[in-house]
Amino acid sequence: MSAVPVKDASLGASPAPGTIVVQPGEAERDPGRFMKRRRRQELVLSIATPILFVIAWELASRAGLMDKRFFPAPTNIFQSAVEMAQSGVLVKDLLASLFRILAGFALGVAGGLAAAIALGLSRLTRAALEPFLSAIYTVPKLALLPLLLLIFGLGEFPKMLLVAMTVFFYIWISCMEAILTVPESYIEAAQSFGARGWSMFRHVTWPFLLPQLFIAMRLAIGAAVLVIVGVEFVQADEGVGYRIWHSWSLFQANRMYVGICTVAVLGFLLGYIVKWSGRLALPWLRRADSAKE
């Protein structure tokens, strides 16, 4: 909005000297058009930034400003990606990693949410288990891989279980804290309407918990990608992480960068899917965000 002295046409006279009349800005005059223009700007920036980065990389590589042995041109990396996709290697690796991520993520979310509800709603359960879980949380998850391999063998389950353990703690900590911080005013208002037990959980605790759950899931899905890549570095014969490490050991820089880019795109898409799912599941937050904008 802009503040300028203007003539008041409805009164037929100018405002008194020194009077400032506030004129509505574009956001107030035409909010729909303003929001469309704002979204277009954001979309253009989100697309233009990586494109400009790739163009700069390409030009620097072709100009000899970067060592092509370590930083091959994006066009060469893309050519290698096409060859790997046509041979089926890239698709096979991607599906293997994606299966491990999604399976472990589902197990971790289910276990973390159950633990959060149990500890958040029960003081005695929290006193008994929170110190133990907090101690395990500080242990690097990759450090547990040898133990899991020793117990469960060299199959897929140890890899998925390690992802699940990583996701578990993101969900457990975030959701338990959300339960513990439900405002007393919400509880008192629900109690005044006779809410108890399951009714209290359904109408107060669960809606308050949901936003934090989706935030934790967005953090957890990124961590799941990181963990599975690390696991595949040391214990796998297929997967994106395995392909990155294998390409490095053979000094195939192009293929190594294909794996790195695949991880980046995979993490972005999975995070976006979780974010989009949260907006669908929480329409009241979507309306609140629109009102703020």
Q: Per residue in 182-211, is it b (16+ CB within 10 Å) or e — as a string?
A: beeebeeebeeeebeeeebbeebbeebbbe
Domains of the chain: 77-292 (1.10.3720.10)
Per-residue pLDDT tens digits for 128-185: 999 999 999 988 888 888 899 889 888 889 999 999 999 999 999 999 999 999 888 8
User: CB-based burial of residue 261 (10 Å sphere; 0-12 exposed, 13-18 middle, 19+ buried)?
Assistant: middle
Per-residue pLDDT tens digits for 80-132: 999 999 999 999 999 999 999 999 999 999 999 999 999 999 999 999 999 99
Q: Which residues pair with 100 in a beta bridge?
A: none
Q: What is the mean pLDDT of residues 184-208?
A: 86
pLDDT at 171: 96
Q: What is the mean pLDDT of residues 183-208?
A: 86
Q: Which is more confident, 248 or 9?
A: 248
Instruction: Give, rounded to a whole angstrom, the gap between the first and last alpha carbons of the chain.
Output: 14
Rounded Cα distance, 197 and 138, in Å: 34
The structure's pTM equals: 0.80
Name the 3-class secondary structure at 32: helix
Q: Does the pLDDT of residue 268 top 70, yes or no?
A: yes
Closest by alpha carbon to 290, among 29, 23, 36, 22?
A: 36
Name the 3-class secondary structure at 219: helix
Closest by alpha carbon to 141, among 167, 106, 115, 116?
A: 167
pLDDT at 257: 93
Q: Does the pLDDT of residue 217 top 60, yes or no?
A: yes
pLDDT band for position 8 (50/70/90)? very low
Per-residue pLDDT tens digits for 31-50: 667 677 778 888 888 888 88
Round the average pLDDT of the chain to a whole number and report it.
85
Q: Which of 182-186, 265-269, 288-292 has the lowest mean pLDDT?
A: 288-292
**Dihedral of alpha carbons 9, 14, 19, 20, sign:** positive
